[in-house]
């Protein structure tokens, strides 16, 4: 590729992956279907999240969508039953969905590298959950978000209830789930669902520069920051204090910290690799 990217085979044209400057750019590539999840796209997305999350040569994951949408969630046209599909018991259906959830948003949340969602347009249903499972979200002005589940009499999956409650609070989460309104990018930013809104034309460049800076930053410090922030969702204050102390002392003994201090004194950017 002319921009220095290294293409990664995702196993399907419905998902693209390329690594540039230590950023794994993962692109949902069904623009004609608003990048809705499919039997080809979704398994590939699972594989690429896990593979790049484990790859020491990748410092950050940037997930985006081709065209003018991020991800419209599940393919509604394929819902409502399939007479040709083999019969499954209730428990088997639950087990299958649990496995699919854990290996998608479950793995995405567990990645110890910075993860960024770049939204060129709508994010709905499970697509919204994927965006919310990332650490940061940067959106184009034309982006809208909607939970969408109530409109088709479903209850929500892929962690949407947990993610919305922690990002927006329980009152807003209930509003967003019950009403399924189309929420503009600016209102999403005010609700805490989006970190930054930029013009449509600048989205991909702004998102990549953010991801590139994080990918080449202090990886071990970011991983421990994520541990601290995750713990803060469930632990009391004193437990968080104790864990911060342990991780702070560990970080103070790393080569990355020593390099950052030298760079600060020498008035230059640090080089962590």
Q: How many helices (H) and strands (E) does the chain have?
A: 11, 10
Residues 127 and 100 grouped into a single domain = yes
Residues 118 and 230 grouped into a single domain = no
117 lies in which domain range?
6-215
Residues 222-240 have pLDDT tens digits of: 999 999 999 999 999 999 9
**Given a cut of 80, is residue 79 above it in pLDDT?**
no
What is the percentage of the chain residues whose pLDDT exceeds 90?
Answer: 93
Residue 1: inside a domain: no
Residues 172-208 have pLDDT tens digits of: 999 999 999 999 999 999 999 999 999 999 999 999 9
Specify the CATH number for the domain of residue 207: 3.90.226.10
What is the percentage of the chain residues whose pLDDT exceeds 70?
Answer: 96
Residues 134 and 229 grouped into a single domain = no
Residues 137 and 12 grouped into a single domain = yes
Residues 101 and 79 grouped into a single domain = yes
Confidence (pLDDT) at 4: 84
Residues 23 and 134 grouped into a single domain = yes
Residue 209: inside a domain: yes
Residues 252 and 227 grouped into a single domain = yes
Residues 194 and 229 grouped into a single domain = no
Specify the CATH number for the domain of residue 229: 1.10.12
Pick the last residue of a domain from 193, 215, 237: 215
Write the CB contacts of 269 (distance below 8 Å, at least 6 apart in sequence).
263
**Given a cut of 60, is residue 123 above it in pLDDT?**
yes
Question: Mean per-residue pLDDT for 19-35?
Answer: 97
Domain count, the chain: 2
Residues 256 and 197 grouped into a single domain = no
Residues 111 and 245 grouped into a single domain = no
**Given a cut of 80, is residue 95 above it in pLDDT?**
yes
Pick the last residue of a domain from 178, 195, 215: 215
Residues 114 and 205 grouped into a single domain = yes
Q: What mean pLDDT is reported for the chain?
A: 95
Confidence (pLDDT) at 76: 72
Residues 127-159 have pLDDT tens digits of: 999 999 999 999 999 999 999 999 999 999 999
**Given a cut of 70, is residue 83 above it in pLDDT?**
no
Residue 270: inside a domain: no
**Given a cut of 80, is residue 81 above it in pLDDT?**
no
Which string of DSSP letters, residue by residue, matches 191-239? Answer: HTS-SEEE-GGGHHHHHHHHHHHHHTS-HHHHHHHHHHHHHHTTS-HHH
Pick the last residue of a domain from 177, 192, 215: 215
Residue 273: inside a domain: no
Both tokens assigned to 200 = 């449509």
Residues 73 and 48 grouped into a single domain = yes
**Given a cut of 60, is residue 2 above it in pLDDT?**
no
Strands (E), 42-192: 60-65, 115-119, 123-124, 136-140, 144-146, 183-184
């Amino acid at each position: 590729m002319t921009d220095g990217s290294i293409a990664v085979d995702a196993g399907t044209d419905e998902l693209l992956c390329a690594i540039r400057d230590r950023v794994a750019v993962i692109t949902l590539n069904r623009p004609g279907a608003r990048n809705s999840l499919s039997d080809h796209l979704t398994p590939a997305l699972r594989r690429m999240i896990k593979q790049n999350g484990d790859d020491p040569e990748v410092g950050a994951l940037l997930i985006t969508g081709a065209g003018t949408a991020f991800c419209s969630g599940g393919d509604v046209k394929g819902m409502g039953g399939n007479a040709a599909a083999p019969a499954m018991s209730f428990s088997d259906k639950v087990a299958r969905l649990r496995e699919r959830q854990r290996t998608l948003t479950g793995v995405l949340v567990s990645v110890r590298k910075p993860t960024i969602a770049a939204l060129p347009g709508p994010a709905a249903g499970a697509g919204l959950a994927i965006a919310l499972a990332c650490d940061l979200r940067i959106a184009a002005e034309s982006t809208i978000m909607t939970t969408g589940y109530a409109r088709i009499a479903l209850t929500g999956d892929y962690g949407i209830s947990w993610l919305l409650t922690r990002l927006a609070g329980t009152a807003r989460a209930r509003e967003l789930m019950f009403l399924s309104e189309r929420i503009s990018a600016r209102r999403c930013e005010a609700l805490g669902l989006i970190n930054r809104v930029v013009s449509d034309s600048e989205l991909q460049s702004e998102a990549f520069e953010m991801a590139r800076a994080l990918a080449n930053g202090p990886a071990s410090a970011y991983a421990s920051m994520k541990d601290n922030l995750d713990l803060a969702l469930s632990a009391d204050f004193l437990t968080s204090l104790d864990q911060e102390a342990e991780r702070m002392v560990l970080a103070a003994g790393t080569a990355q910290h020593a390099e950052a201090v030298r760079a600060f004194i020498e008035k230059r950017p640090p080089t962590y690799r």
